[in-house]
Amino acid sequence: MKPRNLAILLTSGLVLTATACSSDSSDSGEKGDVTITVACQPAKTAAKQRKAWDDDVAAFEKAHPGVNVKSTDQQPCFDPKTFAAKLAGGQMETVFMVPVTNYAEVIAKKQAKDITGVTNSVKNFEDIKPDVREMVTKDGKVYGIPNVSYSVGLVYNRTLFEEAGLNPDQPPKTWAEVRAAAKKIAGLGDGYVGFGEYGGGNTGGWHFAQAIFSRGGEMVVDGKAAFNSPEGKAVLQTLHDMRWKDNATGSKLNIGWESLMQQMAAGKTGMMLGAPDVVTDVVQKFQGAKDNYGITAIPEGKASLSGGEAYMINPKANAAETKAAMQWIDFQFNTPGKGRHDYARGKANGEAVGVPNNDYMGDSPSGTKIAELRKGNAVLPVEYYQPYVEGSKGVELKLEPPKAQELYAVLDVAMSAVLTRENADIDKLLADAETKANRILARG
């Protein structure tokens, strides 16, 4: 979940028009044209990005006579507190964004349309990596068009590395190295944090999953909790020791998703787990110095939590609406040099272009073109991200576990405990979490 890139993950949920919601309605709209509603228009406060979106809508409508596009701009675009209710109530747009955390549930509940027969409307659909396409496929049927895919790595402050006598071009590759580096950075003085971590808001449990995967552990196996394991214990023990033996995590308990990125942007936190889009947010949203940050592959690298998003279509959309929706997805999200991938425009608009935050098309012709355009218009130091690009190759991608958010909430308790109580009983914390998780999983 990023809750990040997200980096980020945005979707909105204004009530659909009758046209967009009805599967048996005739094509309608102005002068009998088909009308679709689309999610994720940038907020009014992001004036340049909103204008770019609106320009794209105008260009799309010109290229597709008879199609009217109505945008919704609720922010954040994806809100886990309201997402399920909007889906169940049939209030989603014709085209809506779904984070990878919710693919399986949305598909299982038949809340996204089967688009198997019209995937060729996205001209480079076959360029999307097979393993990424597989995530939106069930029983041979396709239910979405992925347009973001990434793995988690280790974001770090290169300036603090240098100040602490560490080589920023040789970032940590193991958790032991992370701990040693964190201790040195914390030793720079009061207020310095070597390694930042979450302890609540479901973000603590989310980062627990990232860390256990990196060590080769599992969250759920055969429908039962599997995190009460040597790998799970190592996650909590390492964090406990960094907090209480090394004084390297700081005393503040980070809860909200943005809190740790704000802490990174302030310039006194050395490392955190995160996807590449964390760098984008730290620099662009929270005004961190762009030359400060690098990213490398996740420590140990046995596996990494996969993040991403796909656009899906409301199952009530009729044939004409579905065709227009697929054309919009192709135009806005999957064409090199256009829409989301118009990096020249992004650069002109002051966006932090250059982070390798999306590898959903891999080394395919489209993927190669996207990477070239991003690098050619970069305003960030792309060489600082090469440890991630090289180190993440071959790292197994893991989907989030079933009932992910509920399991993360359970594991928040353990993460919070080791960060706030020196005498925390790790074995008991994991056993209690296992019992609660199995109750959740048993509900199906």
Model-level pTM? 0.82
**Maximum C-alpha span of the chain:** 71
pLDDT of residue 375: 93
Q: With bands split at pLDDT 50, 70 and 90, how would you rate the model's confidence at 89?
A: confident
Q: With bands split at pLDDT 50, 70 and 90, how would you rate the model's confidence at 391?
A: very high
The pair of three-digit structure tokens given for residue 415, joined into one six-digit string: 């993460």
The pair of three-digit structure tokens given for residue 103, joined into one six-digit string: 């693919």
- The pair phi, psi for residue 398, each rounded to 5°, is -115, 135
DSSP state of 285: I
The DSSP string of 207-230 is HHHHHHHHTT--SEETTEE--SSH
258 burial (CB, 10 Å; 0-12 / 13-18 / 19+) is middle
- Whose CA is closest to 213, among 241, 234, 189, 239? 234
Note whether 144 and 136 are within 8 A (CB). yes
The pair of three-digit structure tokens given for residue 142, joined into one six-digit string: 């396709």
Residues 6+ apart with CB under 8 A from 289: 159, 267, 283
Mean pLDDT of 106-123: 96
Q: Taking 80 as the threshold, does the pLDDT of residue 23 lie above it?
A: no
Mean pLDDT of 195-201: 95
Q: Give me the amino acid identity at 185.
A: I
For tokens 């503040």, what's the residue? 252
Q: With bands split at pLDDT 50, 70 and 90, how would you rate the model's confidence at 26?
A: very low
Q: With bands split at pLDDT 50, 70 and 90, how would you rate the model's confidence at 290?
A: very high
Q: With bands split at pLDDT 50, 70 and 90, how would you rate the model's confidence at 17?
A: very low
Residues 6+ apart with CB under 8 A from 71: 37, 38, 39, 40, 41, 53, 54, 57
Q: CA–CA distance from 238 to each of 106, 174, 363, 428 (Å)?
A: 36, 12, 36, 16
Q: With bands split at pLDDT 50, 70 and 90, how would you rate the model's confidence at 121?
A: very high
pLDDT higher for 118 or 24?
A: 118
pLDDT of residue 66: 95
pLDDT in tens, 41-53: 999 999 999 999 9
Q: Taking 50 as the threshold, does the pLDDT of residue 224 lie above it?
A: yes
Note whether 112 and 143 are within 8 A (CB). yes
Q: CA–CA distance from 312 to each of 91, 146, 368, 377 (Å)?
A: 14, 9, 25, 29
pLDDT of residue 260: 95
pLDDT of residue 31: 45
pLDDT higher for 90 or 219?
A: 219
pLDDT of residue 112: 96
Pairing of strands 193-195, 137-138: unpaired
Phi-psi label, residue 376: left if phi above 0, alpha if psi -120 to 50, beta otherwise = alpha
For tokens 């009460």, what's the residue? 228
Calculate the CA 33 to chain-centre distance: 35
Lowest mean pLDDT among 6-10, 119-123, 161-165, 247-251: 6-10
pLDDT of residue 15: 28
Q: Taking 60 as the threshold, does the pLDDT of residue 21 lie above it?
A: no
Q: Taking 70 as the threshold, does the pLDDT of residue 416 lie above it?
A: yes
- Nearest-10 crossing angle of helices 404-420, 203-214: 90
Q: With bands split at pLDDT 50, 70 and 90, how would you rate the model's confidence at 78?
A: confident
- As a whole number of Å, the end-to-end CA separation of the chain is 21
pLDDT of residue 18: 30
pLDDT of residue 116: 97
Q: Taking 90 as the threshold, does the pLDDT of residue 128 lie above it?
A: yes
pLDDT of residue 98: 94
Alpha-helical regions (H) of 6-67? 18-21, 47-63
pLDDT of residue 1: 43
Q: Taking 90 as the threshold, does the pLDDT of residue 320 lie above it?
A: yes
Q: Taking 70 as the threshold, does the pLDDT of residue 14 lie above it?
A: no
Q: With bands split at pLDDT 50, 70 and 90, how would you rate the model's confidence at 11?
A: very low
Q: With bands split at pLDDT 50, 70 and 90, how would you rate the model's confidence at 4?
A: very low
Q: With bands split at pLDDT 50, 70 and 90, how would you rate the model's confidence at 12?
A: very low
